[in-house]
Amino acid sequence: MGSIGNVDAFFAKADKYLMSTGVPYSPLVITRANGTRLYTQDGRSILDFTSGQMSSLLGHSHPEIVEVVKHHVAELDHLLSNMITYPVVDLAERLARFLPAPLEKSFFLNTGSESTEAAIKMAKVYTGKFEVIAFAASYHGLTQGAGSATYSAGRRRGGPVMPGALAFPAPYGYRSPFKKADGSYDWEAEMDFGWSMIDRQSVGSIAAFIMEPILSTGGILDPPKGYFKRMVEECRKRDILVIMDEAQTGVGRTGQMFAFEYDEIVPDILALSKTLGCGLPLASVSTTAEIEKGCKEAGFLWLTTHLNDPLTAAVGNKVLEIVERENVCQRAAERGAQLHAGLVRLQKKYWCIGDIRGRGLLRGLEVISDPETRAPGPELGQAVSDQAMARGLSCNIVSLPGMGGVFRLAPPVTVTPEEIEEGLAILDEAFGYVLKTRSA
């Protein structure tokens, strides 16, 4: 099972039969995942600081979720989409208890791309308009509508995007050209500039502005307090619906149930995915009774094979039960503060760590190649990421044009204080090794 020959044969088979989708394979073959740990074919233990694909909020194979899956796969797994079931209604009811008014109506899908696709269509159907604004560092998926509202990656050679796609300057304080006299980030001036560009480009048919409260794939861009409050006010002035995509930030990860609560705002439409299913394919779209009524009257249709499936709905219901019972928001805030403090210690030790940002257990660490110019350091970041993996820590590095290599650190909220320190120690070793070998 664990011999080098078998691993070589495994990857040879993968190369022969799997089509590449643009995502390079990890050199590791993971055969088991449990809690915060991944286990390789040769028995190595890897500390997971990405929660799988930023999804396994409560860790891998949480025993209560395993029992829910076992029960429903044997009793009630999948039906015609118009056959609603107790798990689906129970999940909708429980989710509504967490949602701030007037959000109260939900339906359930598979994945983040589908939830944002449905949210965009809802906004178009409800308003009768077609333009959609998104941040210039956004990631909302790669299906046609979601991909048209995604500017961080995946736009090349895909043909024409959805008509009416408009980009807004991303709130990237560390690298923004908008600065006050004291050198601090002038987000108000940047926002004024952004809206001036939108107002010039729009043909007067803006349906929605879709936003991530923390732009994850764009580099863990965490806008300053007050940013989204002002942004929502500008949308209201223009009669534009606000869609919040909380695929990675929702369900407690940032220290609040929903990251938009940080600025005391409420969107018109909320899309959840990843964390809601704790690694299983579950997403949701939630909105107000008024918008649901308008969509229904306008003939809104969203029908997919796994719409409102009972098995995944039961999982989501259990996830929310655990999040509430175990005070996951507080745990994320506490462990996140510990992680942040450790990253600040590393920043003081290593010149190549340019910026630390994020909230709760969604943290970003940006690597630079020059402390004076703050030039991006994606190659340096990748070398550190590779060394961390070799030492037993899985941590994702984002290397997109125009930014440095940004580590996305998002361990499960079940991570222990000792595991946080273990991960920080591995990062310390990895940075030390890479910088030492490069200066030798």
Catalytic residue numbers? 139
What per-residue string of b and e applies to 163-182 under the rule 16 or more CB within 10 Å gives b? ebbbbbbbbbbbbbebeeee
Using an 8 Å Cβ cutoff, are 315 and 281 in contact? no
Strand partners, 235: none
Using an 8 Å Cβ cutoff, are 409 and 395 in contact? yes
Using an 8 Å Cβ cutoff, are 405 and 379 in contact? yes
Using an 8 Å Cβ cutoff, are 233 and 253 in contact? no
350 Cβ contact partners less than 8 Å away, ≥ 6 residues apart? 431, 432, 435
Using an 8 Å Cβ cutoff, are 29 and 10 in contact? yes
d(CA 116, CA 163): 16
d(CA 220, CA 365): 8
Q: How many residues are there in the chain? A: 440
Using an 8 Å Cβ cutoff, are 376 and 335 in contact? no
